[in-house]
Chain A
Amino acid sequence: QSVLTQPPSMSGTPGQRVTISCSGSTSNIGRNTVNWYQQFPGTAPKLLIYRGDQRRSGVPDRFSGSKSGTSASLAISGLQSGDEADYYCAAWDDSPNGRWVFGGGTKLTVL
């Protein structure tokens, strides 16, 4: 069971906006940085968003991140077929020692 909670799957149609949620606690999302990753089958994850809402250089502005309290969200607008992938949230967790924690991943299907 993952420390951060994401929906296992989501779907959308081309052009639609989808939002993937990530729920945590005060020891991770509540007071630390949140990253979002995109992973295609057979490849390494790629960082999309860091520090909750900062887009990595080169990432289209269709991708945006936000954080509120102990939850974070990744929004993808103008959905494209090439966005079909697995998405993971990650956050630094302070307890009991330092560690990174991940969500279980969300498989996004573009219908």
Chain B
Amino acid sequence: EVQMEDSGGGLVQPGGSLRLSCVVSGYTFSIYEMNWVRQAPGKGLEWVSYISSSGETIYYADSVKGRFTISRDNAENSLFLQLNSLRAEDTAVYYCVGSGYEPMKYWGQGSQVTVSS
């Protein structure tokens, strides 16, 4: 069974930083693309970032470009998202999402990020 354990969320002041982690098990992590998707309170889903299986190709949503950094450690079956220069509008539940044969198939339980003074 595939399990994706999100962690690292919390309360941070505007301008602050957080690092989200996602540890994956039951799944050949190293051969699949990964994404981060977020959901603000009461709102819909918003894609945040993509990383290829090797880590060589990376894309970001315009709303986070230059502030967030996606990375992965295939040896540790882990995905990361470094969040810098946080704003109130970044408040959301952040999900790590893994592809398999089916794109964007596996979702973590989500990490709550709250940006507030």
Contact = CB atoms under 8 A, between A and B. Distances in A.
Interface in B81-117: 95, 102-105, 107-110
Nearest to A47: B105
Contact of A105 (B37, B44, B109): B44
Interface string B57-86: 101010000000000000000000000000
Contacts of A46: 107
Interface residues on B, range: 10 to 19
A50 B102 contact: yes
B59 A99 contact: yes
A44 B107 contact: yes
A103 to B, nearest CB: 7
B104 A90 contact: yes
A19 to B, nearest CB: 19
B31 interface: no
B35 interface: yes
A97 B104 contact: no
Contact of B104 (A35, A98, A103): A35
Contacts of B45: 37, 45, 88, 90, 102, 105
Contacts of A37: 45
A27 interface: no
B17 to A, nearest CB: 24
A74 to B, nearest CB: 15
B102 A104 contact: no
B104 A47 contact: yes
Interface in A65-104: 88, 90, 92, 97-104
B101 to A, nearest CB: 9
A102 B104 CA distance: 12
Given A44-B95, A100-B47, A35 B109 contact: no
Top 7 closest pairs, chain A to chain B, by CB: A100-B47, A44-B107, A50-B102, A105-B44, A102-B45, A98-B59, A104-B44
9 contacts: A37-B45, A44-B108, A44-B110, A47-B105, A50-B105, A51-B102, A54-B102, A99-B61, A105-B45
